[in-house]
Homo-oligomer: A and B are copies of this chain.
Amino acid sequence: MTIKTETRRLKANSFKRSICPIACTLDLMGDKWTLLIIRDLFKGKHRYNQFHESGEGITTNILAERLQRLEKAGLVFKTPYQTRPVRYEYHLTDTGKTLDTVIWAIIEWANRQIPGTNKPKRSKMVKS
């Protein structure tokens, strides 16, 4: 199975509220779940059952909606891993992978400021 990756910048139609870079980013991922899905993709999770194994208890509806939104934004792409019934696995595009800087800024902030948060290892973050 070949897995295509996609390199492109996000479309300017991401503007909903203003041209502020923070507002535009929050329009894409300003909720309690999207960055957890991106975290899981960085951790090498690709399939629904793997996302569900994460401790936060994401529902199937939210997972499906967020993955679709991330795909539409060009941050994630899907590829079938079985047919009859067709099932997909999800991967970060090259653009999606650039979110590692945001993910790590948050991890480092929380590790310093919220006692008791776990300390992920950067080496465990996969690149596909």
Min distance, Cβ A27 to any Cβ of chain B, angstroms = 7
**A22–B10 contact, CB under 8 A?**
no
Q: In residues 11-36 of chain A, which contact B (Cβ within 8 Å)?
A: 12, 14-15, 17-27, 30-33, 35-36
The answer to whether A24 and B110 touch (CB under 8 A), given A30-B30, A56-B18, is: yes
**B106–A22 contact, CB under 8 A?**
yes
> In the complex, A61→B93 CA distance in Å?
38
Each complex incorporates copies of this chain amounting to 2
Q: How many residues of A contact B (CB 8 A)?
A: 50
Q: Which residues of A contact B (CB under 8 A)?
A: 9-10, 12, 14-15, 17-27, 30-33, 35-36, 39, 54-57, 95, 98-99, 101-120
